[in-house]
């Protein structure tokens, strides 16, 4: 058996197209254009690329896209004041502070300063609490993308065994909550889990989000499982360049799983598309419309 390749490019393109259509409809019906503002502190090269990418896709979807660039030496008070102004601006529906921040800044305090109803990254503790209690809020973009991919492969989640490897606030914990909401039986595995391969072999749904290159081997995967690989790891090549590989040994996993996401070309492409979807939801909720 060779697994189906879950193509993140195709799924993300379809989601962006749907968002663009609904953005146009919202503007026509209510005169409101969803607005996303990204705050970038410093000149980290990877962050610069991410922010440019977000800006392009936001504009392509017909939304207003703004980027506030602050110098690397920006202090906490200045950054918090910037967020305060964005919270008060009715034309800003979504606020995203690009992480990581320079060392002198307190990332948690910065995230907590964002209005939870504009927190389209889904990282505010209020949104984490809403997710845990099944209330409307914002889900972090990567777990949201994972669920969209899973929903394309699984008709009925009820009673399935799901194993999430990794317990980060950004991916592991939220995806576990989303799977619980789908009536899965969820196990969260991590660096202290005993006999991790045996735990993974129970999974009908296996989500690898631990940040260790090819940690999950083919013989860790239950035959017929659906595997979502969130890992993005740089593997050095002899010529000094590098290639991206996931947390799952893809060549092995594809021989066992029913469906699997590749790296690159999988979950990563969904993140920005889900950011657009969250920003549209924020604008709709601000108008009192269902999200």
Positive or negative CA dihedral for 51, 54, 56, 59? negative
Whether 121 is catalytic: yes
Gap between the Cα atoms of 121 and 96, Å rounded:
6
Of 119, 121, 204, 247, the active-site residue reads: 121
What secondary structure does DSSP assign to 201-257, as a single string? TT-SEEEE-S--TT-B-GGGSPTT-EEEE---EEEE-TTS-EEEE-SB-HHHHTTT-
Q: Is the dihedral angle over the CA atoms 248, 249, 254, 258 positive or is it negative?
A: negative
Per the DSSP assignment, residues forming a β-bridge with 4 are: 259
Q: Say how far residue 2 (Cα) sits from the centre of its chain.
A: 27
Q: Which residues are catalytic?
A: 54, 98, 121
């Amino acid at each position: 058996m060779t697994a189906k390749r879950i193509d993140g490019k195709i799924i993300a393109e379809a989601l962006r197209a749907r968002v663009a259509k609904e953005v146009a409809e919202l503007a026509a019906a209510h005169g409101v254009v969803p607005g996303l503002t990204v705050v970038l502190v410093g000149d980290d090269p990877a962050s610069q690329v991410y922010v440019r990418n977000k800006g392009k896709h936001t504009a392509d979807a017909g939304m207003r896209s703004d980027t506030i660039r602050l110098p690397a030496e920006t202090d906490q008070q200045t950054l918090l004041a910037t967020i305060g102004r964005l919270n008060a601006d009715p034309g800003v529906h979504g606020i995203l502070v690009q992480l990581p921040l320079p060392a002198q800044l307190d990332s948690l305090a910065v995230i907590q300063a964002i209005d939870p109803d504009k927190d389209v990254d889904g990282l505010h503790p209020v949104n984490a609490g809403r997710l845990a209690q099944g209330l409307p809020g914002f889900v972090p973009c990567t777990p949201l993308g994972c669920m969209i991919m899973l929903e394309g492969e699984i008709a009925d989640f009820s009673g399935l065994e799901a194993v999430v490897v990794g317990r980060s606030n950004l991916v592991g914990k939220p995806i576990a909550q989303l799977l619980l909401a789908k009536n899965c039986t969820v196990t969260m595995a991590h660096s202290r889990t005993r006999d991790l391969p045996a735990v993974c072999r129970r999974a009908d749904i296996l989500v690898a989000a631990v940040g260790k290159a090819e940690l999950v081997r083919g013989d860790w995967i239950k035959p017929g499982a659906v595997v979502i690989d969130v890992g993005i790891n740089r593997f050095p090549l002899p010529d000094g360049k590098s290639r991206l590989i996931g947390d799952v040994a893809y060549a092995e996993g594809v021989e066992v799983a029913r469906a699997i996401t590749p790296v690159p070309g999988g979950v990563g492409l969904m993140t920005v598309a889900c950011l657009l979807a969250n920003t549209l939801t924020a604008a709709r909720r601000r108008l009192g419309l269902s999200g």
